[in-house]
Structure 1
Amino acid sequence: MTSRRRRALLALAGTAGLLACLSPLAVAQPGETSEPIVTTEYGKVRGTAHENATVFQGIPYAAAPTGDRRWRKPAEPQPWDGVRDATKPAPPCAQVPGELPEGSTSEDCLYLNVTAPKKDSGKPRPVVVWMHGGGFYMGTGSSYDAQRMATRGDAVVVTVNYRLGIFGFFAHPGLAGSGTFGLQDQQAALKWVRRNIAAFGGDPRNVTVAGQSAGAMSVCAQLTSPSARGLFDKAVMQSGSCGYTWRNHYHYLNEQASSIYQPVSVMRERGAQTAAQLGCEGDTQDVLRCLRDLPVDKLMPVQQYFIQPAYNTPTLPLHPEKAVKSGQFHRVPVLSGSTKEEAMAWTAVYDQGKPMSEETYRTVLKETFGDEAGKVSKRYPLQNYPTPAHAWAAIVTDDSWSCTQYRVSQELAQHVPVHHYEFADPAPPPVGPEPEIPTGAQHASELWSFFDLGGVAPPFTADQEKLSEQMIDYWTSFAASGDPNGKGGVPWPRMRPGQSAGTQQLAPGDGEIRQIDFAEAHQCSFWSHLR
């Protein structure tokens, strides 16, 4: 992927004896401090008490992957004495400016955040572990304020940092763990949750791993990773799956066709070329020693060369979709879906920050599809859309996002319970600077339904507020039991393999939460034959 695509992508893994040692969430008594204190296996942490929730930020789940620990599997953090301050976010993992305006140069970033309802439940709560999106090169767990989700959903929510870009997915001949360090970090966080979450009121035997975009692709990878076995009990994938691929020109001009997961041989070759580019030569150990000695700022120019997890590795033995197709994945219930207009996030700014023009549309249609361009044009007549940007977005959304997500959901549904959805709010709050044309339910627009993003509460209408509450009810009911229907609302049937219906549309307004024929709406049969 080029740097422009990487910027565009969301510019937007215990024993009873150990659990018994962990103290429950401390509740302040009259005359005591209002700052909640919890004892983890590594030491005590002090969080922040809000009106309805307690929040603990910057808890280390692994040792800093710095110095000689760069590009090694995560190690356990060092215990600490006294009470550790957990009232402020930890540094984000190293990344260029984008989702975070200032970026980050920190490698000491393997921390997580825990949000728990303040009210005593009398029993352990379900746990949701959130893997952030950001194209595997940007983002941080602390951007997702989970108080609304935790409080309304009566769940403990954990948001996680994991190594990104060259720090998380670098590969090189002879380097153990090549291309999968970020996925290994996620598994280390899930292990920490199993061992420690009871102290925060969570149920370590009822953990849901969830994520959006790159976070969802991470979840799909964890579903097929042998080393993730036993680390979670349910999975949620939002706008990202094991099947995500794209064609030439899809999200920006001159983009090259590829897929999110790559063979480790390809990534190792890329790593060898990058090492030479950085002036590190010699035998393998000399090269790795040289690379580990480089300061962060020397690696940042090539940070985004490595944003595709590697398979044919111990962490991912198979391409994740191949593993799903062959039934080689962890048998847990799945909730999966996408937004109705995913690709509007890109086509609205396709022409140097402007919406795609008709001239550009006709050029990329022909160059992308060649002799098949007429078939695509006939299926997506330009006159049926308000702008060429909307027409191209429909093509890219259906082929690259919607139908790949649906296909994997159908494959999973042959073995486990699956609930499939489409987020279809026609006018959700924006997730970044607003372009010249409406973008509808674009990529990432459903995130407001669960989180305050970057410290900002969503400016919802009354109908959008009701939708958000219903979605939190669905998601946390699923986390509790594997069935989103536990808290009432419009019934949501599970997906049945081979049946065209079975997708829950999620949109604001009376009657707008309902079952739809997703495959028909997104022309999935057409795209399966065109491929």
Structure 2
Amino acid sequence: MERFVFVLVLSVASAAKLGVVKTEGGQVQGRSHKMGLFSSVDVFKGIPFADVPGKWEKPKPHPGWDGVLKATKARERCLQVTLLQTETRGSEDCLYLNIFVPQGLKLSSGLPVMVYLFGGAFLLGASNDLAILGDSLYDGKQMADRGNVIVVTVNYRVGTMGFLSTGDSRLPGNYGLWDQHAAISWVRRNIQAFGGNPDNITVFGQSAGAASVSYQMLSPYSKGLFRRAISQCGVALSPWALQKNPMGLTKKIARKVGCWRANEDDMITCLKMSDPIGLTMAGKIDVLLLLGKGVVMDLLELAPVVDGDFIPDDPSRLFANAAQFDYLAGVNSMDGHFFAGVDVPSINTRNATSMEQVRGLLAGLTKDKGSAAVSSAYAVYSSHWGSAPAQEVVKKTVADIETDFLFLVPTQIALQLHANHSSGAHTFSYLFNMETRIPGFPSWVEAEHAEDLQYLFGKPFSTPLVYFPRHRDLSQYLIAYWTNFAHTGDPNKGESKVPVLWPQFTKNHQPYLTINHKMSKSSVRYNLRSSHVRYWTDTYSHLPDMRRDDHQ
């Protein structure tokens, strides 16, 4: 009898479910996934937030549907090249999002909402990317369940279809940013029906997604749209995050698809009539150009532009628009290692890395400023070497140079600008430095680009066999800080206990939190790589420019 009562109690006390939800476009029904004894997550995949977009047009509202939309599987990604860049995948019909809603014994309501923007160099990626061992990398169930937040992952156009621009009103560009904006706006209008609080939305993203978050904060169109933002390894000020010569790139793509014309209007007409698949392939990175010539960064050409509309001015001058948002931003300690390994392959092998190679890398990164920059940067980066530096020291310096230039310094400048303009909003800075889990790398390699994501999305819990307890500790810490921040604007306060108090970054006080599996009071440090940040912001930026913008 007792057993019967226990089973009865259990069946009555199972987690609540949303069932059919009414949105502006029509009704949707997802699936409930059991998480713990009395908890589950309702998952809705493939809800349209806009209509099929026209080529190089802003997204338009979705016309809606009849009956109940079964939102149980993710829709295709936006048209893009494959990772190996040999073909395309995806579809032009791609403006869909996925929603993860945590449930306890009674239906959730008023929850904070976290909208995720994926990375992928503005060239590739999807809201449900990369399923390795189980669910996709961006599956929001663990984060939703452990942090008591609604997680939303969205698609946006990438590559040629998302970011081609003539630098003027004929093809203004930034279509991918408009898609993100449309998705956040849809969430604001509809999330209450899923148990979310439309007045408490946090936008977060990694790499190109982090730079996108930064652009969303800086755009005048976002006023009052969301409340908080998190940039992981990328900001709008990153050198790869802004197209400086859009017309030059458009002409290059026109040549590849047989549309080059002396008359620009004829060329644009031809591009508009061209096949999207051919256009997408024409925007791929030509990896062969790299070998021994120049730096990876020069190949990342498709990116947002200053269009006088969504991005009205240079990003560095738009931080007054971001004053209202709480902001949390940081980098991985070896964010630049992957790029450094392509530019200077010897750092990951037994071969020696020479002083000349270090100078060559600096020359590639600083070619706008000429030889004076190479000498001054080399002096800063070799200052701790002594007369006969160990190879490990030289190799790590190469990774540090790329990390600083591409990620760390721009992020520190963005944090400083945010703190300087902030009107009562909070600013927080971090460095994620967990040692890499990627096999085969030298022992000095710490957190590689994108290695934070597996922990943030709770992979050590969903696929426990491939992780150790220390990885679960770290995952718990990251989810706690990020979701607390979404709840309150302060990573220390919310529903989750955190291991260390994380102090605010202010105009005159620059603490940052080092995040790894061994957190203690000494995880709070100050003035992250300040002499290197000072070099790039003060000395380097005041050197005269060697190049003019060439509109070929």
Post-superposition offset of 1:312: 4.0
**Under a length normalisation based on structure 1, what TM-score does the superposition of the two structures give?**
0.82
CA distance in 2, matches of 1:182, 1:517: 36
Among 241, 252, 257, the residue aligned to 1:278: 257
Are residues 1:178 and 2:164 paired?
no
CA distance in 1, matches of 2:374, 2:165: 35
Are residues 1:508 and 2:514 paired?
no
Deviates more, 1:373-382 or 1:477-486: 373-382
The answer on whether the counterparts of 1:238 and 1:338 sit within 8 Å (CA) in structure 2 is: yes
CA distance in 2, matches of 1:307, 1:118: 40
Deviates more, 1:373-382 or 1:91-100: 373-382
CA distance in 2, matches of 1:473, 1:73: 36
Q: 1:526 corresponds to which residue?
A: 535
Q: How does 1:111-122 map to 2 (within 5 A)?
A: 111-119=96-104, 120=106, 122=108
SS in 1 for 2:392: coil
The answer on whether the counterparts of 1:96 and 1:104 sit within 8 Å (CA) in structure 2 is: yes
Q: How does 1:21-60 map to 2 (within 5 A)?
A: 36-51=19-34, 52-60=40-48
The answer on whether the counterparts of 2:22 and 2:28 sit within 8 Å (CA) in structure 1 is: yes
Q: 1:130 corresponds to which residue?
A: 116
* Distance 1:405-1:174 versus aligned 2 partners, 3 A rule: closer
Q: 2:547 corresponds to which residue?
A: none
CA distance in 1, matches of 2:81, 2:100: 27
CA distance in 2, matches of 1:336, 1:197: 25
Q: 1:298 corresponds to which residue?
A: 278
Q: 2:133 corresponds to which residue?
A: none
Q: How does 1:190-339 map to 2 (within 5 A)?
A: 190-245=184-239, 259-263=240-244, 266-280=245-259, 281=261, 287-304=267-284, 307-324=302-319, 327-339=320-332
Q: 2:333 corresponds to which residue?
A: 340
CA distance in 2, matches of 1:35, 1:284: 53
SS in 2 for 1:523: helix
Post-superposition offset of 1:514: 2.2
Deviates more, 1:95-104 or 1:220-229: 95-104
Amino acid at match of 2:204: A
Aligned pair count reads 479
* Distance 1:43-1:101 versus aligned 2 partners, 3 A rule: farther
Are residues 1:107 and 2:107 paired?
no
Deviates more, 1:287-296 or 1:203-212: 287-296
Amino acid at match of 1:481: T
SS in 2 for 1:471: helix
Q: How does 1:393-408 map to 2 (within 5 A)?
A: 393-408=399-414
The answer on whether the counterparts of 2:392 and 2:444 sit within 8 Å (CA) in structure 1 is: no
List alignment gaps of at least 5 residues for structure 2. Answer: 1-10, 35-39, 130-137, 286-300, 364-372, 541-552
CA distance in 1, matches of 2:89, 2:440: 25
**Under a length normalisation based on structure 2, what TM-score does the superposition of the two structures give?**
0.79
CA distance in 2, matches of 1:455, 1:84: 31
SS in 2 for 1:141: coil
Post-superposition offset of 1:295: 2.2
Deviates more, 1:297-306 or 1:189-198: 297-306
SS in 2 for 1:358: coil
CA distance in 1, matches of 2:74, 2:94: 10
The answer on whether the counterparts of 1:344 and 1:443 sit within 8 Å (CA) in structure 2 is: yes
Encode CA deviations 1:117-158: one digit per residue, 9 max, x unaligned.
132355310000000111100111112111111001100011
CA distance in 2, matches of 1:421, 1:204: 27
Among 464, 470, 482, the residue aligned to 2:489: 482
Q: 1:469 corresponds to which residue?
A: 476
CA distance in 1, matches of 2:451, 2:329: 15
Post-superposition offset of 1:344: 1.7
Post-superposition offset of 1:283: 6.4
- Pairwise CA RMSD of aligned residues? 3.1
CA distance in 1, matches of 2:241, 2:167: 21
Post-superposition offset of 1:438: 5.7
The answer on whether the counterparts of 1:42 and 1:77 sit within 8 Å (CA) in structure 2 is: yes
The answer on whether the counterparts of 2:460 and 2:471 sit within 8 Å (CA) in structure 1 is: no
List alignment gaps of at least 5 residues for structure 1. Answer: 1-27, 246-258
* Distance 1:528-1:172 versus aligned 2 partners, 3 A rule: closer
Q: 2:433 corresponds to which residue?
A: 424
CA distance in 1, matches of 2:165, 2:442: 40
Q: 2:367 corresponds to which residue?
A: none
The answer on whether the counterparts of 1:348 and 1:389 sit within 8 Å (CA) in structure 2 is: no
Post-superposition offset of 1:372: 2.5
SS in 1 for 2:508: coil
Post-superposition offset of 1:96: 1.3
SS in 2 for 1:484: coil
Are residues 1:152 and 2:146 paired?
yes
* Distance 1:380-1:95 versus aligned 2 partners, 3 A rule: farther
Post-superposition offset of 1:330: 4.8
Amino acid at match of 2:473: K
The answer on whether the counterparts of 1:347 and 1:390 sit within 8 Å (CA) in structure 2 is: no
Q: 1:252 corresponds to which residue?
A: none
* Distance 1:384-1:173 versus aligned 2 partners, 3 A rule: closer
Amino acid at match of 1:406: Q
Post-superposition offset of 1:179: 1.8
Encode CA deviations 1:160-219: one digit per residue, 9 max, x unaligned.
110001100111376556121010001100110011111211111111111111111111
Are residues 1:498 and 2:508 paired?
yes
CA distance in 2, matches of 1:321, 1:139: 26
Q: Give me the identity figure in percent.
A: 31
CA distance in 2, matches of 1:174, 1:262: 13
SS in 2 for 1:413: helix
Q: Rg bigger for which structure? A: 2
* Distance 1:36-1:349 versus aligned 2 partners, 3 A rule: farther
Q: 1:139 corresponds to which residue?
A: 125
CA distance in 1, matches of 2:512, 2:533: 14
SS in 1 for 2:203: strand
Q: 2:380 corresponds to which residue?
A: 376
The answer on whether the counterparts of 2:80 and 2:123 sit within 8 Å (CA) in structure 1 is: yes
